[in-house]
């Protein structure tokens, strides 16, 4: 296989969570039980031996029912979670849009959060000054720019997060369900922006519960079932398989 333009390489990745099965009523009880070695855990494998890659300029969809492991996979690719086993090779600058409001300080205003997020993504104040108007225009939040984001709706968080992440022209954009909270008009605007970025060479890893959105946006993808990759391929074929298997 031609590997030269692989930008995300996921090899045999597994993720195991330790889940406590006991009912613990508070932090104090937890700490005491832990010191006494009285907590028993069961292992839960959220990802099992997942292997795939994403090439430059691909719009790659991750499909699966609730609990299939999609968010765990995206968090692993984004470096938020360290896999229990397996290797990940990521080439390029990444902008993750994984959890609504992640990376925002809710006490700060939208304006302050733009600079804070810019710094997290590695941009100076000067660089963010140059992007500021574009971010405010795209998010359509000009009149709320000096409002603390704790007063924002979920759609407003999504607008601001998407506008910041895309303004940084990342090599890899990771989008987990975020578009689902925006209104229809904003979703369309985000989809157009994603397509524009892909034309310029950005790779996108997308999770959405809207199979129609995955079908219309993506070109390739995978289906996860109980943490295992059960199918990889062309998006039409994948969505047809998904419909016939799960509906």
Binding site for ligand ATP (CB under 6 A): 17, 19, 44, 46, 64, 66-72
Q: How many helices (H) and strands (E) does the chain have?
A: 8, 9
In the chain, the DSSP E strands lie at 6-20, 41-55, 59-63, 85-90, 94-97, 172-176, 203-207, 220-225, 228-234
- Please, which residue, 163 or 217, has the CB nearer to ligand ATP? 217
> Min. distance of Cβ 68 from ligand ATP in angstroms?
4
- Please, which residue, 70 or 215, has the CB nearer to ligand ATP? 70
- Please, which residue, 141 or 178, has the CB nearer to ligand ATP? 178
> Min. distance of Cβ 47 from ligand ATP in angstroms?
8
**Within 10 A of 136 (CB to CB), how many other CB atoms are there?**
20
> Min. distance of Cβ 127 from ligand ATP in angstroms?
33
Q: How many residues does the chain have?
A: 247
Closest by CA to 140, choosing from 178, 186, 194, is 186
> Min. distance of Cβ 219 from ligand ATP in angstroms?
21
- Please, which residue, 19 or 35, has the CB nearer to ligand ATP? 19
Cα–Cα distance measured from residue 33 to residue 121, given in angstroms and rounded to the nearest whole number: 39
């Amino acid at each position: 296989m031609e590997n030269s333009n692989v930008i995300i390489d996921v090899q045999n990745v597994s993720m195991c969570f330790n889940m406590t099965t006991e009912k613990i009523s508070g932090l104090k009880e937890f700490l005491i039980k832990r010191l006494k070695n009285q907590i028993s855990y069961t292992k839960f494998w959220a990802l099992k031996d997942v292997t795939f890659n994403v090439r430059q300029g691909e719009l790659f969809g991750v499909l699966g029912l609730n609990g299939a492991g999609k968010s765990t996979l995206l968090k692993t690719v984004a470096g938020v979670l360290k896999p229990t086993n397996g290797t990940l090779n990521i080439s390029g600058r990444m902008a993750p849009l994984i959890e609504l409001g992640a990376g925002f300080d809710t006490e700060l205003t939208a304006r302050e959060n733009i600079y804070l997020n810019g710094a997290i993504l590695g941009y100076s104040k000067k660089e963010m000054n140059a992007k500021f108007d574009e971010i405010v225009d795209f998010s359509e939040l000009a009149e709320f720019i000096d409002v603390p984001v704790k007063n924002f709706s979920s759609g407003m968080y999504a607008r601001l997060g998407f506008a910041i992440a895309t303004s940084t022209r990342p090599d890899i954009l990771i989008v987990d369900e975020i578009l689902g909270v925006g209104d229809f008009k904003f979703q369309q605007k985000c989809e157009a922006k994603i397509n524009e970025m892909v034309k310029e060479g950005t790779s996108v890893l997308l999770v959405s519960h809207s199979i129609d959105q995955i079908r219309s946006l993506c070109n390739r993808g995978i289906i996860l079932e109980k943490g295992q990759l059960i199918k990889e391929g062309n998006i039409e074929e994948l969505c047809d398989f998904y419909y016939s298997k799960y509906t």
